[in-house]
A and B are shown apart, each in its own frame.
Chain A
Amino acid sequence: MLELQRISKSYPGVDALRAVSLAVGAGEVLGLVGENGAGKSTLIRIVSGAERPDGGRIELDGRAAAFASPADARQRGIAVIHQELSLVPQLSVRENLFLGAGWSRRGIVRRRWEEREARRLLRLLEMDIDPGARCSELSLGARQAVEIAKALALEPRLLILDEPTAALSPREARALLRQVRELARRGAAAIYISHRLEEIEAVADRVAVLRDGELVRSIDRRESAGGDDGLAPLDRDRLIETMVGRALSAEFPPRLPGAIGETRLEVRGLSAGRRVRDVSFDIRRGEVLGLAGLVGAGRTDVARMIFGAAAPDRGEVWLDGRRLELRSPRQAIRSGICLLPEDRRGEGLVLSRSARANFALPNLDRFRRWRALVDRHREGRAFSRWREQLDIRLVRAGQRVATLSGGNQQKVVIARWLERGARVVLCDEPTRGIDVGARYEIYEWIRRMAAEGKAVLLISSELEEVLSMSDRVLVMHDGRVRGEILEPANADPAGVLRTAAGIGLSEAPSVA
């Protein structure tokens, strides 16, 4: 029904998709798996019309189709359930379900009919939700279910589900999976994306594995079942091997000489709601501690709490034997902690300002003259020095930071903390969206910072990166530290991924 032929898409510095060809037929569920950053989300954005491919063809029912917008794709029967919720919180469940065009009778809302339909849809999902309730009052799981019901209401020909069960209870998740199968039985197609391989096993007829923007493997479980009605069991371990793949071409700089010293940062029992539960660890001088895990495992929350950007419910952070008050980033910076945020453009940089102004922002007190004036000469000298050392490529010093490439932007953020002389460096996905050349330089700087005796926390969803760069790795799953790897260089990536995915853990949601 839907066929993708050699779809390519690249962003500045990254090839997100490289000539990916995929097809999904009526009555079929395609499971799509891959590591973070493998290109799954980009693929979905292209299929749903949110983004246009750089190359390749999309065919719908054998005819070339170019979706101009999500609304266009929706009109042709493609419905997407996003990771981010798209409900209007002030409206009721019923109003949200039938928010789009086409449900009214000549502009007049059919309340009674909507009420009935809403109940029917929610019953299908085995969700006990009052259609009259306001969405803002619902739990995250219930909202996710409403989102799914909203897509089902359209009776789509192709349903795309992107990590739909992340917020659902196991029972709700099972009902959802049944619903997807039911949809397929009635002749619709579905693309199901999940990190939870047991869900993929429960629902998918075929499985496609993406890695680094390429389709590396496609498994047809009906074929391998040998013509039986059932599906062949999935070899999850092999699937994980495929997802991780061989070593990437990117190289990592060697560890610089320098012993790991005494404890610098201690985190004790850090907890925040359901996202972070009782996380404790130490980082020593000169040590790079990796924090592996899937998106949403709570790693970013941990970093933000240490940095004072988010308040923990419980827990303590000690720096060089002194307890820190986790009140504001300003305090954390004064104590010598710095953060390279995951979302560089949204949280790291003021895009409308120059590279130099961004570099100077947390360091203005160092360039101070007469209490409040900024000594622009000292500021300029400091910036040129780091600009040279880090090889930040600018046309002119006053160039707006928005016009820089991702690698150069990250270097501006690194430069500001190098100038600051921080004691603890929290790196959250430091190489996301950065091309290979600049990546290597950023790895070198991480090494150098560690060699200077700083304590480095390296959060990364790229297994190879976190295993190659760290002296020690903690694996987080669902808000908890689930494993520690003392010799990451020799660790088995597949095992790490299993831990991160929660496979083999007692509390992992099981799907029958």
Chain B
Amino acid sequence: MPEGVAESAAGRWRRRSLDLVGRNLSVVVLVLLCLISSAATWREQNPVTSRSGAAVARQVLEACQTPCSVLVVARDTEADRVFVQAIEQGLDTAGARIAGRVFGQPRDVRLELERIAGVGGSFDAIATHRIASEWGPVRTAGTPVFAPRSYHWPTFLTARNLLNVVNQNADIAIIALGMTLVILTAGIDLSVGSLLALAGVIAAVTAQEWFGGAAASPAGLLAAMLLGVAAAALGGLLSGTMVTAFRVPPFVATLGLMMLARGLALILAVGHQRRLVGGGAEGTPEAVRVDAAVFAWLGNGTVFGVPNPILLMLVLFVAAHLLMTRTMFGRYVYAVGGNVEAARLSGVPVTAVLLAVYCLCGAFAGLAGIVDASRFEGGRPNAGELYELQVIAAVVVGGASLAGGRGRIAGTLIGAMIIAVIQNGLNIAGVASYEQKVVFGALILAAVLLDRLQPKIASRRARMTRASTSTPVQ
């Protein structure tokens, strides 16, 4: 900024902070939403984890001298087993004895107590968690009961809930990436939900019929999945061709493809069922089940405790971010969206860029379809209905302008998360899904309104900038 600009420190601070909030409005909104969700779900937490199990073991060892014998009580769930394993490990290393263990209901505790009494055994303590410590037989057993201390913490802000929220919306977020590209070019793609279903069904049908069904090799399953993605990408290329070569408005072109792809997915699914039943039996548009167990890995597996869909989503976001900020293609997309004519006169291959954008959008929808099919262990021809609207909402809430040229990949990630967090918050608060629609409708309107107001805000900011730079220049 040139010298001679008189601006008070307070004024500058105010302007800068307003600027920062204005530029990162969606981040501010997301943080606010997380705070609200956290405050609304402030509950007593009773952790049942390996860490809390180890803590219980330490408590027991502090209270009674070795060799002491301990009864371990828990429910019959996955988490409880991990919990119990941690307790026993802790006791074992200190040389304590396990008098018995219970996985189940209060009734099972009574039976175990009777068994121990029956063989003349005894124990000095019961190790369990907060929930089982309330059970009748545990309280009346007559020995000290040890359970991890409970504490207060927002349910929303637990690792399990957060992973769950993101995992459930990973497919929306992945499609939103492709949609961001399309919207940046001032287009729209309504076919993504149908392409998702088509990709899933094609992957499932080919896995079952071409690559060996239950006996399919991982390579065969990968091929089936790639076929699904390729089909969706081809669909995108088709709408891209309509938009570029025949100048069909994107809305109409992708509306047609939306119905076409959905119909194809249903036809393929019905045909598969018919072949399964054999003969001329009526097929039904049910999900095409995939028998190979590995197929479910992508949608349900975890790496280091993080669900695979989240990892895939993160990888794709980083890749898309780099694509849009570091490559020629990214620059071209922004230029085409900002001003087609100027882009063309600057030598941007407009047609190729648009084709690539729609093709990529289809491919992203196809990837989401594979995730969906893997998660449900089969291709569902009815999957992804109305996804296009959720996805567009995520992109718009993320700050992209429907007029094109303005928007960021990071913004879309935040937009998708805003929608996920609101959904989760409303679910925890017990708001019915039909009531949630009202909230989302209002959210989208607010986001679009903000988009409309932005030019005015921007021009005011530009005036401020210009005014502050128009000091006399020689």
Could you list which residues of chain A lie within 8 angstroms of chain B, going by C-beta atoms?
307, 309, 328-330, 332-334, 339, 341, 346-353, 357, 360-362, 364-365, 368, 372-374, 376, 393, 395, 399-400, 402-403, 416
**Contact (Cβ within 8 A) A350 B1:** no
Closest 8 A/B residue pairs (Cβ): A350-B338, A333-B347, A403-B462, A330-B347, A362-B346, A352-B338, A352-B405, A361-B346
Q: Which residue of B lies closest to A368 (CB)?
A: B328
Q: Mark B334-350, 1 if CB is under 8 A from A, else 0.
A: 11001101111111110
B350-375 CB mask vs A (1 if < 8 Å, else 0) is 00000000000000000000000000
Whether A350 touches B345, Cβ cut-off 8 Å, given contacts A372-B327, A403-B466, is: no
* B153 close to chain A: CB less than 8 A: no
Assess the A350–B327 pair: CB atoms within 8 A.
no
Beta-carbon contact of A348 and B327 below 8 Å: no
Chain A residues, CB < 8 A from B332: 364
Q: Report how far A393 CA is from B339 CA in the complex, Å.
A: 23
In the complex, besides A361-B331, A402-B462, 15 extra interface pairs with C-beta distance below 8 angstroms are: A329-B346, A346-B342, A347-B345, A362-B348, A365-B328, A368-B328, A373-B326, A374-B326, A374-B328, A374-B331, A376-B326, A393-B473, A395-B469, A399-B465, A403-B466
The answer to whether A351 and B345 have CB atoms under 8 Å apart is no
- The one of A307, A374, A402 that contacts B345, using a Cβ cutoff of 8 Å: A307
| B329 proximal to A (CB < 8 A) | yes
Per the bound structure, the CA–CA distance linking A368 and B345 in Å amounts to 20
Tell me the complex Cα distance, A360–B473, Å: 27
Q: Which of A309, A352, A402 has the most CB of B within 10 A?
A: A352
Does B331 contact A330, Cβ atoms closer than 8 Å?
A: no
A260 to B39 Cα, complex, angstroms: 78
Q: How far apart sit A364 and B331, CA to CA, in the bound complex (Å)?
A: 9
Interface positions, chain B 294-351, Cβ under 8 Å from A, are: 326-332, 334-335, 338-339, 341-349
Q: Is the CB of A329 within 8 A of B331?
A: no
Q: Which of B328, B342, B348, B405 is in CB contact (< 8 Å) with A372?
A: B328
Residues of B within 8 A of A329 (CB): 344-347
- In the complex, 12 of the A-B residue pairs with CB atoms within 8 angstroms, ordered by the A residue number, are A329-B345, A346-B341, A347-B339, A349-B342, A350-B334, A350-B338, A350-B405, A353-B405, A393-B469, A395-B465, A395-B469, A402-B462
Residues of chain B within 8 A of A368, CB atoms compared: 328
Measured in the bound complex, the distance between the Cα atoms of B334 and A361 in whole Å is 10
B153 to chain A, nearest CB (A): 42
Q: Roughly how many angstroms separate A497 CA and B96 CA in the complex, as a whole number?
A: 109
Which B429-474 residues sit within 8 Å CB-CB of chain A? Answer: 462, 465-466, 469, 473
| Known A309-B344, A403-B462; contact A346-B327, beta-carbon cutoff 8 A | no
- Which of B326, B339, B345 has most A Cβ within 10 Å? B345
Contacts of B349 in A (CB 8 A): 330
Contact check, A361 vs B462: say whether CB atoms are below 8 A apart: no
Q: Are B344 and A373 in contact (CB under 8 A)?
A: no
C-alpha gap A350/B186 in the complex (Å): 14
Chain A residue numbers with a CB within 8 Å of B347 are: 329-330, 332-334, 361-362
- CB neighbours of A393 from chain B (8 A): 469, 473
Bound-complex Cα distance A387 to B26 (A): 34
- Counting chain A CB atoms within 10 Å of each CB, the highest count among B332, B341, B466 belongs to B341
